[in-house]
Each structure stands twice: as C-alpha cells, then as structure tokens.
Structure 1
Amino acid sequence: MIRRALLASACLSAAGAADLTHFEQRIRPLLIENCIECHGPDKQKGGLRLDSRAGWQTGGDSGPALVPGKLDESKLWHAVSYLDRDLKMPPKRKLKDSEISDLKLWIESGAPDPRDEVAGSTKGKSARADASFWSFQPPRDVPPPAVLNTDWPANDIDRYILAKLESQQMQPAPDASPAVLQRRLAFDLTGLPPDLSQPAPQTLAEYEKRVDELLASTAFAERFASHWLDITRFAESSGGGRSLPFKDAWRFRDYVIEAIRDNVPLDRMITEHLAGDILPAADAAARRRQVTATGFLALGPTNYEEQDKGMLRMDIVDEQLDTMGRAFLGMTLGCARCHDHKFDPISARDYYALAGILRSTKTLRNYTDNVAHWIDTPLPMDGEAEVALQKHEKQVGALKEQIATIKDSLRDAGSADLRTRRTISISDLPGIVVDDTAAQKVGMWKQSTSYAPYIGSGYLSDNNEGKGEKTVSFTPKIPKTGRYEVRLAFNAGPNRAESATVTILHADGEELKAVKMVTDSLKGLQFASLGTYRFEANGQGFVLVSNASSQGFVTVDAVQFLPADETVDDVVAKKEKDKESPTAVKLKKQLAELEKELKAVQKGGQDRPEAMSVAEDTAPEDAKIHIRGSIRNLGAVVPRGFIQAALHGTAPAIPTNASGRLQLAQWLTSRDNPLTARVMVNRIWHWIYGAGIVRTTDNFGSTGEAPSHPELLDHLAVRFMEDGWSLKHLIKQMVMSHTYRMASTHAATTDPDNRLLSHMNRKRMDAECLRDAMLSAAGTLDRSFGGQGISEAKAVDANDQKIQNLEYGYAFQDTRRSLYTAAFRNVRHPLFEVFDFADINQPIAQRTTSTVATQALFLMNSPKVIEQARSAADVVLKSAPDTDTRIGTAFRNSLQRQPTEKERALVREFIESSQSGNATPEDIRDLWARFIQDLWSTPEFRFLD
C-alpha cells in the first residue's frame, strides 16, 4: 500500500509504544464504516464487538477475532478476504483491495489499537496535556547561566552545556584531534570526505575559515538539501501497486538545493512550500521558484487509482496535514481526524479548521478521472526566451488544431463527403459503431430527426426533462483485445447541455467524463473523443450516458470504437476498399504535410517546463467535522483556522474567497508561534550533534521526550528568529562551539546516553555519505549540479500499466551524488535499502541506525561495491609504483588518514603473500580492490568520531 509506512508515534507513549497513525487514519474509519453497525454497542452478531481492543481480543462465539502478527490464524482476515466459503464479511460486498491491504498491514504489524475501553466507557482514560504544556508556550530567551570554568565556553551554547555538566559534577571531554575534527566537519557539513590537499586546521582562526568555506560550498547545499528532503518526504514516484513516476519532481529537489545554497531564510522556504503560487513574484525566475516550491504539497504518496473520490480527497488532505504537522510543528495531527487528540491539546475542530484550508486547495486536476492526476503547472521563462517560447507554442497549437480538424473529417464519417448527407449509415463509419437503436435505454428518451446529419434513423434526446432519471448504455462487441479510442456521437446545438456525464467501463477500470454538447450556432452531428482505453475481446465494457445534473438538452446518437494502434489510412482503407473520394485524397495529403511540418517545428523548439504544484480552488469553503473520520458522517462546519492551543497574539484572518494557505504559512512562521522555530532548531541540532535537544524530533507533544536543555532550546529558537531564520548562521554557531569540537571517545558513567553532552556523539554515517565516500575514493563521483536525474521519466498515461516498470525494473547506474539518485517509493538503491534509508512515504525525522549481518555481506558481495572498489584500486595503483605509498594512498582516500606502522605491515604482508609471480594486471587490481573493500567494511569508515 502507498501509505503503509505512515506508522508514526501518534497516540501512545513513545517509550516502546506501537505505531498507531495507520490505525487512526485507515483502520478506525474502516471499522466504523463497515463493521460497527453489526459488531458494536447496539448489535453484536456472533457475540463479537469490534469497537474496542478488548472486543476483538475476547472475540465472539468462535473465539478471538484476530491474532496480532499472525495473519493465517486471524479469523477476521479470513472473513474479509473471502477465503472462507462460509464466512464472508461484510456479507453484502467484499471490501476494496486497498482496505484489505490496510487490514493486512495492521494485523501483520501487531494490530496496535489505542481503544483501551469500550466506546462510552470513561475508565482508563489517560491525562491529556493542555495549552500550558511546555512546547505550547512561547520560547523565552533566558540569559546564559554562569559557569565555573570560564575559559572553556567559546559561545553561549557552551555556557548552557557546561552549566548543566557542572551541576552534575561532570567535566567536558578533551578536544578532538585536528584530523578527527576535519573529517567530522567535512561529513557533517558536506556529506563528503575532507579535501586532504588542505591540512587540518590547527588554530581556531583556521578552523573558522574552513567552516566558512564549507558553508559557502555547493556540497553544503546538497548535504542539507538531503536533510530537508527527508522531512518533506521527497520522492519521484507515487508509490503503491501502480506507481506513477513524477517526471518533474526533480525541480522541487533543485529548488531546495538552490534555496539552501543562497541562504534563503527557512521561514521564507516554509511560506513558499505552502503558498508559493499565490505570493507576488518580482519576475519570471521568482515565479518559477515559488510555484515549484508548492511541490511540497503535491509530492506525497497518493493512491491515484482510488475510486472513492471523496475518500481520495480527504486522504490527500490528511497526508498533507500529517506531513506539515510533523515536519514544521513537531506534532502528530493525524489522530484528530477521528477524535480529539488523546494526549495533546489538538481537537478535532482544530484538525478540520486546518483541513478546510487544504480542502480549498486543488492538488489534483479533477476528482472524476478513473486514475487521478496531479497538477502540472507551466512555468514562465525570462525575457526573449519567453517570447520565443510563446511564438513556438502558438505555432505548434495552430498546427495541432489543423491536424485535429482534418483527422475529424476523415475519421468521424469515413470521408468528408459524408458530411453533405442528411443521414449516415453505420457502414459508412470506421471502427466499431453502436447506434442508439442498439443501446439499452432507461427512462423516456425522445427519438428525433430535427437536425441533420445524424447516424441511422435519428438520435435520442432527453427532452430536457427527468434529470437524473435517464441513461443510455452502449455495449460493444470487441473482436480483438487492444486499445480503442472511444468517441461519442451526439447532436449539438445552442440549447444543448453544458455538461453531460459519460461513464466508460474498460479493462483497466472505470472513467468518468463530462461532454460539452452546447454550441454557439452549429447544429447537427458532432463527435467527442472520450479517451483511449484497453478493451478485452468479448469482455465486459460499456459507455453509459446520463442526464443527471445536466442543464439543457442531452442528446445521444452513437458510440464509435476506433482501434488506436491503426493509422488513419488503415481505418479509412477498411471502409473505402476501392476508390477514395477526391476530397479524402486531398485531406490526407494535407494531413501528411501538416504532420511533417509539426514534427519539424517541435524538433526545432523547446517545450515549456512544468512543475508539480497546487492551485487555489475556485470555490474555497470551510470543512465539516468528519465524525469518527468518516467522509459520509458529517457534523458541524468548522471555520478555517489554526491550532487554538498554539495561538498567541492575533491570528491571520482568512479571506472568504481564498484557501487560507498564505495565512497558514504566516501563522506557522510567526514570532508568536511557539512550535516552528523550536522544531527547526532542534532538527538542525540533531543533524549536527547526532541527537536532538528533544530526541523525539517530530514529536513535541506529551508523548515525546522532554528537552534535555530547555533554556538552550529556547535561546537558540529566539536567536534563530532574530537572525532572520538563517540556516547557515545557526549551523556556524553550533560547529564553532567547544561542545561540537570535543572528542567522542570520552565516556561518562553517570550519563550513559550522553544527554548532557559531556562528549561528542559518535555517529554512523547515513547511506548517502557511505555511497558518496566510496565513489569519492574510487574517483568516479560525478559532481554535476542539479538537473533531471531520471531521463526515462516522461509524461504518463495513467491507464498504461507498463509505466510502473520504470520503477520496478530500474537500474541504478549513475555515479552522481546520492542526493540525485532516483528516489522511487517502492524501489531504492540497493545500498540505501541495506543501510537504513528510511521509508519516504512519510516525513523522515531521524534514521534508524542498525548493525546487521546483511550490511557486511553487502559490502563484501555487492557487484556495485566491487565495481567501485576496483576503480578505487586503479586510483591507488596509479598513485605510486611502491607498495608502501599505495597503502598510504588507500588509507587516505578511504579513511582520510595515514596507516599506523602496524597496519602498514599487516597490509604489506597481505598484498605480498596473496600475489603470485605470474599475476596479471587484472589480478593485481582485484587484490587491491579486496583490500579496499576491507577498509570500507571497517567501523572507522562507516562511523564518524
């Protein structure tokens, strides 16, 4: 499932609690919608209740309803999956595949369920934090405390840290060596090994100069863009079974890199993420940047195939709120979709006040397509480039319009000559034609011949009466499985319907289309293309026209199915076997010339760039509370707004004609907001020091950890806002502190978790750093900046099942920085999978750090690791002719230091004893490659002291 990883620490204690966001967002609404009516407080069929955890644990007449973690032993699973002939639940219909998958994931993950008591009981309820909780109070800048060792602090950070240590009779660790500090600083700020052509800084002035150089580098922007993309759950595909590639997602990634490179204030970045498209833009470049920034809202994991469009709309809003809450507020908002948050002062009214803002925002092109699609927004160009592009687009548009007109003339009636007739027979039309006389009609339709031409003996009209009571269903006899263009023939005129609803059932699902039948003056036969779909030979399929919700006359004449894989010539040749009319010959010649001209024009011009984005809804409105999270059980309307417990000062007023996204961004980044600056500072502290001041970096609620140094967190948050939300300025304060420059080898027995920071945390390097370090040692690292990473990603036809092959069959061959490696949701680079790259279906607050056998096996046996080790061996062998120098080069390139004498002797013995007298150059290279693989397998390579 697309959102199978949305298991956050939502509604239980963070201390070993099961992840419950999946339950709150998917399982609770599912049970309410499908199960509680028969297995709830009012009725217990089979003695089973499913409205509490105790209910399914006790079970009914057949025993417990499920066994957590054991799918095959769970009766509930057998019932909903229809595996048991005698037990099928719900009895009237099978659950959707997506709902069954949700239940499967829930049971396999241990069936976490926060419903401690039966609905209506008041026993066992936990205390709920209120607005007085520490994180909901505005940060206060308390002056740094006095310390006894006044010589040790280098800045205010150190004073807060040292004061806490001294209060516990603890001493800070000694300073790290210049070499260790050089490597630590390089990887922390750039994600790359240090440049060893520069000596390690020996003085504080030299160290500060190095810090400034790294902060100004492109590598710094790339490294911290990687962190930012983690919390914004950046990906280049939608995830799920049919995972659609996001061809323009890379533009959001490049926006983030460039913003960090240019030190754009983080409050400005957050504002552009939420409302960039509605901010004023000084020029085309600013407009491109701001529109692209809203990809933050569009790039989430979305089940575009969801047929319940009301559920799809709310799921998108819920995912956006969950991401925004955890990324910027450090709050798990998802629980409040179904009920007031159990532990934090966030009510369901707060949730739907925020939801109204995002429900008033368009994230999809429409909510009618069988497979929905995100919004692709054309981007403006600068100056002459825009003028040239507009000229090119006008030329291409005119040619396409001419081509479409000629094709219509050829394909609509087989020949333009047929247009002069009053009636057109089915045999005159190409493809498979189902006339209205062969269609199944519901309701009273009028047979009419008022306006010619028409197909057969006339056409049908609903007479502008009985709206919602009339349908016409066309069922074709498909002789051959394939793709067919579906065209609706109707009788147009000035009094016709502005929009008539048409449903197409095809082999891959169901599509809903709206057809405009009204014209200014033209009367008579018209054809509307409904799209191209796959139909199976003798399979189920139909086209159904309805007059529901239409204003004006709805007319229906016939439906035409044209084989999509056949050319115009093929189709026409089938009907005009002998001789073509002069008109048709002339039109086909014109068509060939126009298509040739279009191809030349398109080849010589540039396509307008597009970005994934969102847009303002034309009819913004407040949301209704969804009782128990159900989209079909609606309560009171909630005015759009913000979290009440976090409101200090005057909240921005939301205009009735706007979504409120701009005001949401203003509230999030306000000096009065108690959460955002704290959360941002804490995240950056986590990235630099290896653990946050609040270790639960995306949970500042009552189930998260309390800050180890609350005064320091507040101090940094206030100064961060006063310094203009500058990422670089804050990071410089952190890495210039004496705290950062301590050794990591010092251990304090009174503080085993190092919460007081008596020494620097030793950190396992993340997957990107490991891969980039290997490529750097191999001399194969491609340092090209920005741009599209997946050239194969093109605009997709959502009905084409082959598009998912791009992700599942993708070969990760590039050697660019890992930031640019294809970020698919279902398939990641093999090294990322092994070395704890977190699931990007949700914001990644902090990576899991595991040490498992598969990591060592991967470094030993992965073809990609072996390939890079051989390249690294080539670098070593070219560095010098003697073994000792080569050993030193290998150590420097991989571990950024020289070997000790003992290490040098051991490696020399290994090389000399393993190398035979008749060894080929390839044998020698492979021998050195195995030695380099050994270096890459050491803790020293994988960890940062």
Structure 2
Amino acid sequence: MKMPFRSYIWQCFAILTCMLSPALSAQQASEEQLAFFEKRIRPVLVEHCYQCHSRNAAAKEKLRGGLYLDSRQGILKGGESGAAAIVGKPAESLLISALKFESLEMPPAGKLTADVIADFEKWIADGMADPRDGQIAADRKIDINAGREFWAYQPLSQPAIPTVAGVQPGTPIDAFIIHKLQEQGMKQVGQADRSVIARRLYYDLVGLPPSIDQIESFVKDTRPDAYEQLVDRLLSSPAFGERWGRHWLDVVRYAESITLRGLLYREAWRFRDAVISSFNADVPFNVMARQQVSGDLMEAASREQREMNLLLTGFLSMGNNNLEDQDKAKLRMDVVDEQLETIGRAFLAQTIGCARCHDHKFDPIPTKDYYALAGILRSTESVVNANVGRWVELDMPLPEAEQKQLDAVNAQIAALKQEITKLQGSGGDNAPIAVDALEGIVVDDLDAKLVGAWTKSTSSKNFVGANYQHDGAAGKGEKSAEFTPPEPLEGEYEVRFAVAHGGNRAPKVNVTVWSADGESTTEVNQQKKPPILGRFVSLGKHRFTANTDAKVTVSTANTTQHVIIDAVQFLPVDLKGSPTKVVTDEDAKERAAALKVAQATLKKLEAERPSKIRYMTVSEQKEIGDTQVHIRGNAHNLGESVSRGFLQVVSHEDSPAIDDTQSGRRQLGDWLVSSQNPLAPRVYANRIWHWLIGTGIVRTVDNFGTTGELPSHPELLDYLASRFVENGWSTKQLVREIVLSSTYQLSSNFNENYSELDPENRLLSSMNRRRIDAESLLDTLLVTSGSIDNRLGGSLIPAGITTDYDFPHDSRRRAVYWPVFRNSLPDLFVVFDFANPSMVVGRRDVSSTAPQSLFLMNNDWVIQQSQQMADKWLAQHELDVQSRTEAVVYTILGRKPRSSEQQLIMQYVVAAGDDKMEQQRRWTQVIQTLFSSVDFRYIY
C-alpha cells in the first residue's frame, strides 16, 4: 500500500525541520524576564524580606529560619522549612503559600496585595530569572565620569573604512565585515541565487512574497543596476511602511486594549496608521522620536504635520497599566515608570526603570536621574483619575474657519434637538422629554439626594431627562429620595411630580412637599397614567420664601410594589400660557408634521456636519514641577526633591534647559535625539541591521547597558550610525545602503569549517537563515490564496465590541491591521512568536517547533486559504498537471520544484482522476503540506 502523499511529505519535512532547526541552548533568562525581576520582585524582597532573610541580616545576626532570599540559590536551597520555591511550580512553592498566609505568614507585618503575590507566582512559573549572586551588598556610589567610558556612552566616531587583502569589497559595509573575517582567517561564501535574493528582499522590505513573474523578471534582468532598481521600487511601495511600521510597533508596545477588563483603545489604530505613513514618507527618525514623546508641544508648518504630531503622541498612552488601582498616587507613578521604561528601551536601549527603587545595579543611572526624568512625565497627564482610570482622548483641533462652521452647525443641531424633544413630549407621546424642554425649575432624579440603592431604568419611555429610577421593590422603608431646588424659591409655585407609570408600580406612594406653610403629603398612584403631559401629577400650589427649605421627599414605606422617582417641577403660578393645555386631534396632526420636518432637517445637518477625529494622547498637568525620590519606589515614602532633567551619563552642558512653566517633555524629545546623545542613532541603526540581517551588531537590541552584549563590529556600528545621521536620519537610506551590500546578498549556506571559529555566524561569513514572522506568514497565505485585501489603514474593531475577550479574529486585510489585543491575540500570532504587546520588543523570540507545522496542517483558517488557492489554480484549465505543479510550488516556496518533489506531487494528484472533488481535496493537501514545510517558513 502506497503511503498517502500528505503523510509521506510530512515525514520528509519533519526530517528537514530537525536538520535545519538550531539546537536549543541551556535555558537563559531573557531581558524581559530580568526586567520583570528588577521591577516587580527585587523591590518587594528588599522592602519586606531582606531585614530577616539576607547575607546582611546574617552578618548582623538577625537571620531567621536559616533562609536567604537575597539570591536565587538561597531561595532554591531554602531554610529550616525546606526549599522556598520550586522552579516552574508556584503552587508547590513554600514562598507562595507563606505570602498567601496559607501556612507560614510572611511578611509578619501584614499580607501583601494580590497583584504582588501574582507577580511572584508568575516569576516562579517563568523560571525565576534572577541576576543576584547573594553576596553582601557593598555601598556602591555611581561614578558618572567613569560610566561614560563604557562604549555605548562614548561619542559617535568616524571610523576609517578598513582595507582588506585580496578582495574588492562592494561597499564600506562589506569592508568592515571582510576585515573582521580576515582577522580570523575566514572569508565569505558566495552570493545567493538571484531568486533567493529576490524572495529575501521582498520579505525584508515589504513583508510579502514575490510573484512568479516578479522573481522571473528580476532573474532575467541582466542590467547592471537591476538589483538597485528593484530595491528602489520596493522602498517606494506603500507596503514598505506597513512592514517597517510593524517593526516599530513592536518596539513601542503597540496594542488596542489593556489587560484590565479587556478595555479597548478604540482610537489606537490612528497611531498605528500614523506610524505606517511616517515610514512610507521616510520622516526623519529624529523627528519621529520627538513627535512620539512631545508631538503635542511641537510647532507645525501645516495642518497635516500638526495632525501627525498629535497622533504620534499616542505613543505615551498605550501602556498596559492597572487603571483599577485605587491607590492613585501609586497608579500615577506606575504610569510614569512604564513610560520611562518604554522610552529608555525604545530610543536609548537603557533599562531606566531599574533605578526606580535604588541606584541602577549595573549601569551608571542613579535613582536621582530616574526621578529627574520622572518629574517630566509626572507633569504630564496620561490617566484621568476615576474609580477605573481612563486614558486621555481628545478631538483633533480644526482650523479656525472650520471650527466656526462646526460651532454654527452644532448650535443648529442643539436647537433642533430641543424642538424635537418638545414636540415629542407635548400631548402625552410615549417618548422621553429633556429637562431643559420644560418650563419652570426642574430637579431631575440624577440631582436628587438618595438614601438606599436605587436602579436606573429607561424601560418605560415617558420619563424626563436621561432615565428614571426604581427601588426594585426591595428595602421598603429604608429607601427615600429628596428633591431640592438649586436656589431658594420666592412666591407661589405649582409643584408637580413626574411618574413613569406602569402596572407593577405601587398604587399608594407618599410624596411630601415642604414649604413655608409646612409639609403636605399626597398619595400618588404610580399605576395610573399622569394627567399632565402624560408624565406629571400635580402636588398642588405651595408658597415658598427665601428662609424656607423647599424640598419634595418620596418614601417607599408602606408599599410592596416598585416605587418610581423621576423629576419634580416647580412652576410659578403666574407663568404665562397653559402648560396643561389639552391637545386636540388637529393639534396632534400639526405637531406630527412639524416633528417630521424637524427630524429630517436634523438628519441632513448631522450628515453634513464636519467630523472630528478622536485620538489618544496626553496633556500637560495643571500643576507642573519637580518630584521627590520615592524611597524604595514607594509613592507614599518620599525623600528629597529632584530637579527635572536627563540621564547624566549622556548629558552635557548644552542639554536643553527646562523652564519652570513647562513639563520638560518638549526638551526631553530634543535631548533624546540631540547631537550630544550617541545612543539614539546607535540604537536605531542597530535595530535596522537586526531587522535585515537577523541579528543585531549588538544582539541585545533593547539593552546597550553593561548587562547587554558587546557589539560584534563596533566600528561598523558607528559607521552606520554616523551615516544615518549624515543622511538626515533617513530610515530608507540606511536600509538601502545595507541591502545593496554584498554581505546582505550572501548565500545562507554556512561554511561548516567555521563551526568552531564562529558557531553563531556573528562574523557573517554567510547570510543568516531566518524564519518568516507571524505577519508575513499570514499575509503570504492571503496573497497566495488570492484573497488579500490591500486597502491601507482603518480599524477592524466593530462598533458593538466592548472588550477584547474572545474576539473573532478573521479578516482579509494585511496582518498589520488586525487588532492587537492583549487578552486575545490570533492563534497564528501566538504560535509564531508575535511580540508581547505589553513591553518593548526589539527582538522577537524565534522558535521552530513541531506545533507550528501541526498548526499549519490543521488550523481551519489555514485550510480555508489552502482550499481557495487550490480552487484558483484548478480554475486555470489551460494548465496541465506538470505546469500547475510547478506554479503552485514556485508560488509558495519562491523556487521551482525539485524533480523528486514534482514527481511525488504529480503522482499524488493524478490519482484523483476526473473526480473534481477529489482533485480539489488532494491539491488542498498538497498546498497545506507546502505551507507546513521548512522551505516555506524560512528565508534563505
């Protein structure tokens, strides 16, 4: 019996996967895990545990239980009660049960909050990343001048282009690479095939696969500048901004929701689209950086530039903060901390957040520097305080003439709405009526003083204002309402009580009027339709004086059914006109006609009204000033005040001065990209190199501090950074220079003779083999199936969606436009290592696992795309089996099929005979298997 094609090809590709996948190294803590420890774990241990469980405590003879919590080894070894933690098993760890007060009760001063305990559970579950060595901490004073000697803080150099022996480098980049190789007695492999280079270039520059025609056109183009022209075409494609904008969205932790309650950032997509537009327009990166930090404070030469400035300031708003935290001082500082950590890693590759509780343990960043920066962001409003805080959203400002036009239209609309409300409310129509549509003084239920729990409702429509309220037919005698006019009354008034009547209402409700003549109680039947306007019951005429406390009270005592409260009207008896006039049929007809005209006019005005863009942003605080050091990061334990400023290690005499009347955010943006700050151009040039080559010159792309890796080619990095600045901070120019190098065009066939000299290919004797990312994979499936929707921009979140939980991710748009929800990412994103949208991610994890192949073979959405691709090629009846096989393989893998592959596929699909359904099924399986292959998932 012959093995089915799908099973056979799966075994082949499984073998290839094992051959091509890099071996896993011993588990190492990621930068993100270490940052989590420094921000969430170490400060708690220092504040609550070290006094009794550390080497310092032992030195002072204060150690308790033989337990050391100042090192990972100490925690694992444990004390008299056994190991304090078991890696990966928080539920079995004594430390967690003690924190929860389930066994031992630690710390003795009181139980820690649930979110802190959850942090410890996550830390243990994720492997207990911990850089501590458990030695007694010596007092360490940061020496800023000594810190400046570290390579990352040195001024940019202008390195000489090295000479190389026996070879003519194509570009200065190649000279730096070849020179380093020759120092080790190594050389580069040859160039990749032109079809391989084309596929590599398309994915790197636009994130999409080239078509067969595009590959063939380039392969056959013999002009000397054919490659250069292809590069320029791709750089000018709108897809470039989509691809490279997505890279930057990883870095700025872009998301469209927060973890808390799955609340949606409905306007975040405008920031995303602004980023994409900026990359397509090649906006200088130093301008983009300033726009994101302080765009709302920048001058603008045009309306378009002003809008981009404002939209990009949304960068500061998208942190994943606990807006439900009732400790508002702590919340305010947590927001600032998140912003500082993001700014530090994104633009400077510095872990600034590690200096919140103490001087940075490794880098020359004292706590005072942290709070100098924190003062700037504390002078910025990012969250509007409430029970559940809200981020800041504003309307995009319009030019003065347009704003006047909009104000005039809004005034017309408001007047029409008031007229419509009056027309709907007169004559007893079953429709709400606005408070301001009624005469006299009206006190709404929302302004009443309530005792007990009342429930708002709009079920019955004959109410006043926004709603009415009921007592739920519960708590009888314990609930009451008091309606008091906003100002003292003088004279005689008719007092009316509004009732949204109904069959389940109480028939005898005591309503009492307090006036100059004393108190007067009326028994109101709330089941009966009120006689005045279908809403009001008269409580009689009453005299009031300025010295009298005028009020109306409603009691639920002695009732069993629902008691309703809505509004109370105080109507002067000498008011002209008769508000209780009986409406005739003729009146009703005239009113209906007038209502129809008013509603039509309103609809037309609202359709023609100029729309305003709503956007996420921040704003300047009303109170601007310096902040105090928060001792051990505690917002309620304040130390000395620190003047607002910047990191001393990369600051000089000409750093921007901060005026007392300004937050300093504009100056922060200027300082980040100033000519005196070497970090920003180095960090960004290194990011571009990483995105194109597959690894950074500094592999820890988000950490240029002393715990990060050293650059493999420091002179090349400074050359790239200097060229970047010289070319006006142009992303496209630097991308162009790198992809035009011979190094970028190398074959990915690694010379095994160099496996000991350079096992990780850090010296780049060959090109790195890279797996395509989640977005490119999704986009490729849409492109090859013929179902992609290439429209630019916009939101994919439907109007009715209120949270991000269980969102049905499904679209034909490019992946960059799919909602990035922190609680529910698309399955494909999760399986293929999408960036964590809650933190800066300059370098994604890249895994190559069997579940990825299984996902591509079994996921319903992937199967659907495979079926559509099968239908597309089967519909081309002019193709024979051989031509169709070649076209399918070429489309998916970017190369022609090998003879063995072609023979196997043809043998399998021909067996379907003339059965159309079987042909479709077999071709679908072929396509799915190709999608599951290593050759599809990797760029060579």
| TM-score for both structures, normalised by structure 1 | 0.77
Deviates more, 1:875-884 or 1:785-794: 785-794
Q: Report whether the alignment pairs 1:682 with 2:682.
A: no
1:923, distance to aligned residue in structure 2 (A): 2.9
Question: Alignment partner for residue 336 of structure 2, among 310, 317, 332?
Answer: 317
CA 1:179–1:837 in structure 2 vs 1: closer, same or farther (change >3 Å)? Answer: same
Give the superposed CA RMSD. Answer: 4.1
Q: Report whether the alignment pairs 1:191 with 2:207.
A: yes
Question: Alignment partner for residue 734 of structure 1, among 701, 718, 738?
Answer: 738
Within 2, Cα distance between the matches of 1:433 and 1:45? 60
Within 1, Cα distance between the matches of 2:389 and 2:697? 42
Give the corresponding residue for 2:893. 895
Look up the equivalent residue of 1:26 and give its one-letter code: R
After the TM superposition, which residues 455-604 of structure 1 pair with which residues of structure 2 at under 5 Å, given as runs? 479=473, 492=486, 582-583=579-580, 601-603=605-607
1:665, distance to aligned residue in structure 2 (A): 1.0
CA 1:133–1:476 in structure 2 vs 1: closer, same or farther (change >3 Å)? Answer: farther
Within 1, Cα distance between the matches of 2:309 and 2:820? 22
Render the CA deviation track for 1:634-663: whole Å, top value 9, x for unaligned: 111111111101124511101111111111
Give the corresponding residue for 1:542. none
Look up the equivalent residue of 2:632 and give its one-letter code: R
CA 1:108–1:204 in structure 2 vs 1: closer, same or farther (change >3 Å)? Answer: same
Q: SS of the counterpart of 1:19?
A: helix
Give the corresponding residue for 2:34. 20
CA 1:492–1:679 in structure 2 vs 1: closer, same or farther (change >3 Å)? Answer: same
Within 2, Cα distance between the matches of 1:403 and 1:76? 66
Q: Conserved in 2, the CA contact under 8 Å of 1:14 and 1:704? A: no
Question: Alignment partner for residue 760 of structure 1, among 760, 767, 770?
Answer: 767
Q: Report whether the alignment pairs 1:667 with 2:687.
A: no
Give the corresponding residue for 2:626. 622
1:729, distance to aligned residue in structure 2 (A): 0.6
1:74, distance to aligned residue in structure 2 (A): 2.4
After the TM superposition, which residues 395-410 of structure 1 pair with which residues of structure 2 at under 5 Å, given as runs? 395-397=412-414
1:392, distance to aligned residue in structure 2 (A): 3.3
Q: Report whether the alignment pairs 1:926 with 2:921.
A: yes
Identity %: 40
Give the corresponding residue for 1:300. 319
Deviates more, 1:279-288 or 1:212-221: 279-288
Q: Conserved in 2, the CA contact under 8 Å of 1:191 and 1:219? A: yes
Question: Alignment partner for residue 230 of structure 1, among 234, 250, 253?
Answer: 250
Give the corresponding residue for 2:933. 938
Q: SS of the counterpart of 2:616?
A: strand
Render the CA deviation track for 1:352-407: whole Å, top value 9, x for unaligned: 1111111111112x22x101111111113468765554433343455667899999
Within 1, Cα distance between the matches of 2:780 and 2:316? 33
Render the CA deviation track for 1:84-128: whole Å, top value 9, x for unaligned: 3x755567875443233223212322344455448x743999999
Within 2, Cα distance between the matches of 1:435 and 1:142? 76
Give the corresponding residue for 2:798. 791
Q: Conserved in 1, the CA contact under 8 Å of 2:37 and 2:130? A: yes
Within 1, Cα distance between the matches of 2:402 and 2:137? 67
CA 1:245–1:435 in structure 2 vs 1: closer, same or farther (change >3 Å)? Answer: closer
Look up the equivalent residue of 2:186 and give its one-letter code: M
Q: SS of the counterpart of 2:181?
A: helix
CA 1:350–1:432 in structure 2 vs 1: closer, same or farther (change >3 Å)? Answer: closer
Q: SS of the counterpart of 1:781?
A: coil
Q: Conserved in 2, the CA contact under 8 Å of 1:414 and 1:430? A: no
CA 1:922–1:61 in structure 2 vs 1: closer, same or farther (change >3 Å)? Answer: same
Give the corresponding residue for 1:721. 725
Deviates more, 1:399-408 or 1:690-699: 399-408
Q: Conserved in 1, the CA contact under 8 Å of 2:205 and 2:243? A: yes
Question: Alignment partner for residue 148 of structure 1, among 165, 188, 193?
Answer: 165
After the TM superposition, which residues 851-870 of structure 1 pair with which residues of structure 2 at under 5 Å, given as runs? 851-870=848-867
CA 1:762–1:635 in structure 2 vs 1: closer, same or farther (change >3 Å)? Answer: same
Q: Report whether the alignment pairs 1:827 with 2:824.
A: yes
Look up the equivalent residue of 2:243 and give its one-letter code: R
Q: Report whether the alignment pairs 1:268 with 2:283.
A: no
Within 2, Cα distance between the matches of 1:757 and 1:30? 44
1:849, distance to aligned residue in structure 2 (A): 1.1
* 5+ residue gaps, structure 1: 1-12, 440-474, 495-554, 563-568, 795-802
After the TM superposition, which residues 431-446 of structure 1 pair with which residues of structure 2 at under 5 Å, given as runs? none
Give the corresponding residue for 1:8. none
CA 1:560–1:418 in structure 2 vs 1: closer, same or farther (change >3 Å)? Answer: farther
Look up the equivalent residue of 2:70 and give its one-letter code: S
1:851, distance to aligned residue in structure 2 (A): 1.4
* 5+ residue gaps, structure 2: 1-26, 427-431, 454-468, 489-548, 557-562, 571-577
Render the CA deviation track for 1:213-270: whole Å, top value 9, x for unaligned: 1101101111100101110111111123x01111111100110111111110000000
Q: Report whether the alignment pairs 1:98 with 2:115.
A: yes
Deviates more, 1:732-741 or 1:21-30: 21-30
After the TM superposition, which residues 43-58 of structure 1 pair with which residues of structure 2 at under 5 Å, given as runs? 47=65, 52-53=70-71
1:288, distance to aligned residue in structure 2 (A): 1.3
Give the corresponding residue for 1:215. 235
Render the CA deviation track for 1:834-884: whole Å, top value 9, x for unaligned: 111121110111111111121111011000000000111112112334111
Within 2, Cα distance between the matches of 1:874 and 1:68? 51
CA 1:726–1:416 in structure 2 vs 1: closer, same or farther (change >3 Å)? Answer: closer
Q: SS of the counterpart of 2:262?
A: coil
Within 2, Cα distance between the matches of 1:661 and 1:207? 43
Q: SS of the counterpart of 1:755?
A: coil
CA 1:668–1:862 in structure 2 vs 1: closer, same or farther (change >3 Å)? Answer: same
CA 1:560–1:768 in structure 2 vs 1: closer, same or farther (change >3 Å)? Answer: farther
Q: Conserved in 1, the CA contact under 8 Å of 2:262 and 2:805? A: no
Within 2, Cα distance between the matches of 1:606 and 1:94? 55
Give the corresponding residue for 2:395. 378
Within 2, Cα distance between the matches of 1:308 and 1:202? 68
Q: Conserved in 2, the CA contact under 8 Å of 1:435 and 1:558? A: no
Deviates more, 1:282-291 or 1:589-598: 589-598
Q: Tell me the matched-pair count.
A: 797
Deviates more, 1:402-411 or 1:709-718: 402-411
After the TM superposition, which residues 411-430 of structure 1 pair with which residues of structure 2 at under 5 Å, given as runs? 419=441
1:147, distance to aligned residue in structure 2 (A): 1.1
Q: Conserved in 1, the CA contact under 8 Å of 2:448 and 2:483? A: no
Q: Conserved in 1, the CA contact under 8 Å of 2:448 and 2:481? A: no
1:51, distance to aligned residue in structure 2 (A): 6.5
Q: Conserved in 1, the CA contact under 8 Å of 2:445 and 2:483? A: no
| TM-score for both structures, normalised by structure 2 | 0.77
Within 1, Cα distance between the matches of 2:188 and 2:62? 63
1:813, distance to aligned residue in structure 2 (A): 1.6
Within 1, Cα distance between the matches of 2:555 and 2:393? 29
Structure number with greater Rg is 2
Give the corresponding residue for 2:124. 107
After the TM superposition, which residues 41-190 of structure 1 pair with which residues of structure 2 at under 5 Å, given as runs? 47=65, 52-53=70-71, 62-81=81-100, 84=102, 95-114=112-131, 116-117=133-134, 121-122=137-138, 130-151=147-168, 153-190=169-206
CA 1:311–1:479 in structure 2 vs 1: closer, same or farther (change >3 Å)? Answer: farther
Q: Conserved in 2, the CA contact under 8 Å of 1:172 and 1:759? A: yes
1:727, distance to aligned residue in structure 2 (A): 0.5
Q: Conserved in 1, the CA contact under 8 Å of 2:67 and 2:80? A: no
